[in-house]
Every structure is written in structure tokens, then in C-alpha cells.
Amino acid sequence: MVAAESAEAQPVLEARGISKGFGSVTALENVDFEAYPREIVALLGDNGAGKSTLIKILSGALRPDTGTIKLHGREVEFHGPRDARSNGIETVYQDLALAPDLDVASNLFLGRELLLPGVLGRLGFVNQRAMRQQAQEHLLGLSVKLSSARQTVDTLSGGQRQSVAVARTVLWGKDIVILDEPTAALGVAQAAMVLQLMQRVRDRGATVIFISHNMPHVFEVADRMIVLRTGRRVGTLLPAANMDQAVSLMTGAVSAHSGDAAAQAP
């Protein structure tokens, strides 16, 4: 979907008036956020702008001090990440929660293991074969290239690890995938691999919320960009904008004005 059309569609996820403080620090102040079906929406902002705090609130890891969240138009309150997950929101946090000594298949099914049929399953025996087969099929479907789903995660490259983490969210996330700085620690080729994967996930119909301070990465894949500065939403950019506009918004050199085709007021 092109972002200009999204005004017509109903957001899958919508937050209004979100504020969050940590002691004397105001991390977010009256922030609105919306994400539409089948789009990659980026959250842009300098370090400390409030990006991670906002996605922690959207993914149930933090409770906002004020504000409301709507999912598919219905108001929700998440009492933890599990709550958000069971509502179809999967998150890859900056520090990946993969188990390095387990193989890829086990990581994809971590916490949701397939059990053997019958009494063995009731005794908690997992069905490794079924998990490996489904893992291979899933990774193949997303064009994630690994030599085998039996590889342990600690033998993978950074890009492959990130891809496994993203593939895992897609396997379980029905509607919304949130990625916090998924390309931050990656080289050029590995980052390209993860960016392509994000586009595939979007093209399958999911919403991808992409947090990054890497401007070229954001401009390469984002359908829309929401810019935060010191805890406030300061503008929305479309891909037709240029990076100078984004930097200006992020640093406060200029403010967005609605006369600009590519930049909109918050």
C-alpha cells in the first residue's frame, strides 16, 4: 500500500495521547501513533527520542502513564508481552531473545514446542522431526537461507540470527511485527537480507513497525515514517521526502509544515 492511501484504511494499531515518565525523565509526551495493514511504518528518532519506550508500550512490556491503545479499532490494555502476543503482536527487541545453544528449529518453536502425538506428547516429549520440517518450510517460504534448521544459533552470522528472530515473529505474529533496530549490528549484505525479509513480511499482509536510526535503511523500505524528538511526535514523512528533511526533523533544525507534499505536521 502507498502511504497516501492509508488515511482511508482503518489502522490495525492505534495509540493516542501516550505519555510515559521515568522519575524526572519524560520519555514520551502525548504521542499518537498509528500503523496500517500491509505497511512498513518506521519510527525515526535520535538516541533518547523515546522509540524503544513507545514500542515497549505497544508490545505490552511497559504500561503508559496516560493514553489509549486500539487494536483493530477496539481499545485494549496489555498487561504484559504475553498479552500483546496473544493479540497477534510479536516483537524482536534490540537484544535478541534467541537461545544460542539450541538449533534454529527449536528457536522458532521456543515456548511453543510441538509435542509428539499420544502419551509421549502428554509426557512432554517434543516432536523434533515435525518442528524441523515445519521450520525448513517456513524459512524457505521467507527465502531465508541457512544450510539447515539443525544448525545451532551460535554458528549463524549476525544477519542469519536476525533473520531467524524475524522469521520467528512471522511464524507466530498474526498481524503486527515490531522490530527494534534489527539492522543495527549488521554488515551491508546482512542488513540487505533483513530488509528484504521485512518487505516479504509486509507483502504477505502484515504490518511491520521498524525502529531504526539508520536513515538509508529506513528510506529503503519504509512506506511511512513517524519522527520522534525528545519524547514528542514532530512529524510524519513519506518516502518521497529526502534524508535532509528527516535529519532536520529529528534534530529540530526545522519543523514539518503541512504545505510540504512529503512531510506532514505530526
Binding residues (CB under 6 A) for ligand ADP: these are 22, 25, 27, 45, 47-53
Min dist CB 48 to ligand ADP, Å, is: 4
Min dist CB 39 to ligand ADP, Å, is: 21
Kindly state the number of chain residues that form the binding site for Mg ion, as judged by CB under 5 A: 1
Q: Which is nearer to Mg ion, 44 or 256 (CB)?
A: 44
The binder of Mg ion chosen from 13, 33, 35, 52 (CB under 5 A): 52
Q: Which is nearer to Mg ion, 52 or 248 (CB)?
A: 52
Min dist CB 167 to ligand ADP, Å, is: 24
Q: Which is nearer to Mg ion, 52 or 183 (CB)?
A: 52
Q: How far apart are CA 82 and CA 241, in angstroms?
A: 37
Q: How far apart are CA 164 and CA 96, in angstroms?
A: 10
> Residue 49 binds which entry of Mg ion, ligand ADP, none, with Cβ cut-offs from 5 to 8 Å by kind?
ligand ADP
* Strand 176-180 relative to strand 13-22, pairing: unpaired
Min dist CB 74 to Mg ion, Å, is: 28
Q: Distances in Å between the alpha carbon of 84 and those of 30, 36, 62?
A: 21, 17, 11
Q: Which is nearer to ligand ADP, 93 or 109 (CB)?
A: 93
Instruction: Give 17's contacts (C-beta < 8 A, 6+ positions apart).
Output: 30, 31, 32, 66, 67, 68
Min dist CB 250 to Mg ion, Å, is: 14
Q: Which is nearer to ligand ADP, 25 or 240 (CB)?
A: 25
- Choices 45-53, 102-110, 130-138, 152-160 (CB under 5 A): range interacting with Mg ion: 45-53
Query: Applying CB under 5 A, which residues contact Mg ion?
Result: 52
